[in-house]
Amino acid sequence: MDRSRSAMRPLVLPIFLLLSLGIFSPAHAGNLIERGKKIAQEGNGLPGSTACMECHRLHGGGMPLIGSPRIAGQTKTYIEHEILGVKAGTRYAPIMAGVVNNLSQKDIRAVAAWYASVRTPKLPDVSPYDPSLVALGKRIALKGRWKKNVPACVLCHGPEGRGIPPHFPYIKGQNKGYILRQLISFAFLKRADDPQGLMRGIARRLSQKERQAVAEYFASLPPPPADGQPDPPSSRKASP
């Protein structure tokens, strides 16, 4: 017992120092979020830096018209992982690659903390949802296409695609252009950040109509609840 306590003593001082410096404090978390907000609004001040809000909006609503994703309320772990994937080249995102290239590790943590902390209403999609595609997409999402060895989407992405933190993002309420583009990217392009190539295999086995249907279904749903409460109703006057 004494030996065990003795082994723990060297840890006490470093932990105390971290606490005293505020590294584990709520104030530190708040400062990180504020830093992330500043980068989202203005970039990080380095030459060529682009503000995240140019594509994702300040409060993470995305831009359905260009297929830029909604990232409000995605988990910090997931957002950070995806930015690092873009930098490493495992996530195919040629436009974003130039934007995140000069972000430091601390910048990335800050941006992830900001967007994980914010909420915004769902923004209108580019066109009305096709009822027949929504119905087909729902069948694939809930039951899969087992004859093609395609499991149900909800097995990984959770009920109605609300996500399974921290690694599986919500796709419920995401814009359809973005979802479709990612399925195509997994199927034919260079996105290779999925564990064991799972999404690549699924996306390749789906037909183009089935990929479109999955995108229509998940896009037709409201975003997942935020902090136990539903997001406000969609509105064309929604804050960005």
Q: What domains lie within the chain, and their CATH numbers? A: 2-117 (1.10.760.10), 131-219 (1.10.760.10)
Cis omega (within 30 of 0) on the bond before 166?
A: yes
pLDDT at 10 over 60: no
The residues near 104 (Cβ < 8 Å, ≥ 6 apart) are 44
Q: According to the model, what pLDDT value does residue 68 have?
A: 96
pTM for this structure?
0.82
Token pair, residue 128, equals 């009305």
Length of the chain: 240
What would the mean pLDDT of 174-189 be, rounded to a whole number? 96
End-to-end CA distance of the chain: 57
Question: How far does CA 2 lie from the centroid of its chain?
Answer: 47
- Residues 33-87: tens digit of each pLDDT: 999 999 999 999 988 789 999 999 999 999 999 999 999 999 999 999 999 999 9
* Confidence class for position 225, pLDDT limits 50, 70, 90: confident
> Is 50 exceeded by the pLDDT of residue 234?
no
Q: Rounded CA gap, 201 and 87, in Å? A: 23
Q: Which parts of 22-164 fold into alpha helices (H)? A: 26-42, 53-56, 76-88, 94-100, 105-117, 131-143, 154-157
Q: Quick check: 136 pLDDT over 60?
A: yes
The proportion of the chain whose per-residue pLDDT surpasses 90, expressed as a percent, equals 69
Q: Select from 159, 138, 119, 117 the least CA-distant residue to 33.
A: 117
Predicted confidence (pLDDT) at residue 94 exceeds the cutoff of 70 = yes
pLDDT of residue 11: 45
Q: How far is CA 223 from CA 120, 122, 138, 234, in A?
A: 9, 7, 16, 10
- State how far the alpha carbon of 36 is from the alpha carbons of 49, 51, 96, 114, 160, in Å: 14, 10, 17, 5, 29
